[in-house]
Amino acid sequence: MKEPVEGPLFTARTCREYLKMFNLNPPDLKGLRILDCPGGASSFTPIMAAAGFDVMACDIMYGEEPEILGERCREHLRILTEALKRIKDTFKWDFYKSPDEMLEKRLKACSCFEESYRLNPDLYIRGDLRDLPFDDSEFDLVVSSHLLFIYEHRLDREFHRSALEELTRVGSEVRIYPIVRENGELADYARELINNGMRGVDVDVDVDVDVVEVDYEFRRGGNRMLILRR
C-alpha cells in the first residue's frame, strides 16, 4: 500500500463538477474573465477555454513538465479512491454512483488537463495563493476549490487571511467550495466569515459575504459555497 500523501492532493475534478459546485451557468459566463485558483489538474479550464470562454488556471504546482503533473495527479487520484472506499458511507453517491466511476471520470479529466497544459501553457500560471501574480481586479470571477477551509487543520489562520486577501484583490467575485472540513462540519474560518464578514479574518477590504446552496453534495454536509463580492 502506498504511503499517505502529505499536504493537499494534486487531483482532477471534471468540468461538470465545477459547474455544479460553483452554481455556474455557461451562458452567463460569456464575456467574463475567469480564474480557477488553485486549478490542480481539473478539466474546467481546458474545456471552457476550448468552448471560447476567457479562462485560465493558477496553481503552485504548475511549471513542472506535463508528464510529471499528469502522473502525480493519477497517483493521487488512485490514493484518494482507495481511501474513499474505506469510508464510503460518509459520502453521497448521487453525482458519482461509486468510487470506481469517480476514478474513471476524474482520470479522464486529468488527461484532458495534461493535454491542454502541454498544448496551451499560457493558460496555466504558476503562483502561490498568498501572493498571486495578477493585477488588481484582473478577473470578474475567481473559483477556488478544495483547499481553503477543508484543509484548515493544516493551513493556519494566516494562510487563510493571506489567501482570501489575494483572491478578493484579483477577482471582483470569488466563489469558494466546499466550506466544510473533511468531516463534513462547517469550517471554523468559514463560520467566522459568515458571522463577522471579512473582518473575522482581519482582511481590510470592503467585501460582501454570502452563502449559497448548490446542487452538488459529495461530502455529506458539503452542499454550500461561499461567495465574496467587492
Query: E strands along 89-189, which residues?
Result: 124-126, 139-145, 171-177
C-alpha cell at 165: 486577501
**Does the pTM exceed 0.85?**
yes
In this prediction, residue 117 carries a pLDDT of: 98
For residues 183 and 174, the answer to whether their CB atoms sit within 8 Å is no
10 assigned to some structural domain: no
Say if residue 196's pLDDT is above 90.
Answer: no
C-alpha cell at 130: 498568498
Backbone angles phi, psi at 26, to 5 degrees: -50, -40
138-147: pLDDT as tens digits: 999 999 999 9
Say if residue 1's pLDDT is above 60.
Answer: no
Say if residue 14's pLDDT is above 50.
Answer: yes
Say if residue 8's pLDDT is above 70.
Answer: no
191 assigned to some structural domain: yes
99-117: pLDDT as tens digits: 999 999 999 999 999 999 9
Confidence band, pLDDT 50/70/90 cuts, at residue 204: low
Say if residue 154's pLDDT is above 80.
Answer: yes
Confidence band, pLDDT 50/70/90 cuts, at residue 4: very low
7 assigned to some structural domain: no
Q: How many CB atoms within 10 Å of residue 196?
A: 11
140 assigned to some structural domain: yes
57-76: pLDDT as tens digits: 999 999 999 999 999 999 99
Percent of the chain topping pLDDT 70:
93
Q: Give the domain extent around 48.
A: 15-229
Rounded Cα distance between 46 and 48, Å, is 6
For residues 34 and 48, the answer to whether their CB atoms sit within 8 Å is yes
Q: How many domains does the chain have?
A: 1
Separation of CA 30 from chain center? 21
In this prediction, residue 3 carries a pLDDT of: 44
Percent of the chain topping pLDDT 90:
86
Rounded Cα distance between 12 and 15, Å, is 10
In this prediction, residue 206 carries a pLDDT of: 79
Confidence band, pLDDT 50/70/90 cuts, at residue 10: very high
